[in-house]
Amino acid sequence: MKVALYPGTFDPITNGHLDIVERALKMFDRVIITVARNTSKAPLFTADERLSLIRDALNHNDRVEVEFFDGLLVDFARKRNVSAIVRGLRAVSDFEYEFQMALMNRKLDEAVETVFLMPNEKYTYLNSSIIREIARFGGDVSDFVPPAVQEALTRKSNKG
Ligand code: COA
């Protein structure tokens, strides 16, 4: 059984992330989406909120698991015996950071492979920060995120 681990902050999940999950499901039997900690980010949504938005967006697909993990990604990958870590590459600007992470993960655990997938080009300019910013100022993000994420962003913006 081939299992992929798709890690990220997912603050919040976007259609671009979902595009990567769909592509990964064509190559792997199962995908574990891991909400992990990027120590340089202070997320808008709590871990529980992010997990529930992801589960909702995937319509509780039984080939996808969604979990929070606070630790080194390679430890989680080893524990769950995954075949590969999946990351999306949207543009050349992603490359340096992704290359560094992939090589560092490999240094930490020789057995961990990273596979890069390219999302549909209509998502190449998307990231979660830009979505949060547009939503915060009342802009329309419906083309970029699932409906439940849009509602959650509106609720957060109304809270101040
Ligand atoms: N579509 C749309 N946006 C995408 C995307 C896609 N396909 N792929 C990435 N992005 C965006 C994300 O929304 C995010 O946007 P933001 O910076 O505005 O929030 C950005 O691109 C990249 O973030 P993301 O994919 O969420 O990853 P990350 O860089 O925050 O996550 C971790 C990095 C969590 C995987 C990494 O820090 C980690 O592994 N942490 C665990 C600790 C560890 O092992 N550290 C050592 C790593 S070598």
Q: How far is Cα 83 from Cα 78, in angstroms, rounded to an integer?
A: 9
Q: pLDDT digits over 103-149, tens only?
A: 999 999 999 999 999 999 999 999 999 999 999 999 999 999 999 99
55-107 residue pLDDT tens:
999 987 999 999 999 999 999 999 999 999 999 999 888 899 999 999 999 99
Q: Best mutation site among 51, 128, 141, 153 for ligand 1, i.e. most ligand atoms within 8 A of its Cβ?
A: 128
pTM equals: 0.95
How much distance in Å is there from the Cα of 74 to the middle of ligand 1? 15
- Ligand 1 atom showing the smallest separation from residue 105 Cα: 48
- Does any ligand 1 atom lie closer than 6 A to the CB of residue 83? no
- What integer pLDDT is reported at residue 68 of this predicted model? 97
CATH code for position 88: 3.40.50.620
- Is the C-alpha dihedral spanning 135, 41, 52, 48 positive or negative? negative
Residue 160 has pLDDT above 80, yes or no: no
Q: Which residues are known catalytic residues? A: 17, 41, 90, 128
The count of structural domains within the chain is 1
Q: Is 34 in the pocket of ligand 1 (CB under 6 A)?
A: no
From the CA of 8, how far away is ligand 1's center (Å)?
4
Domain housing 83: 3-159
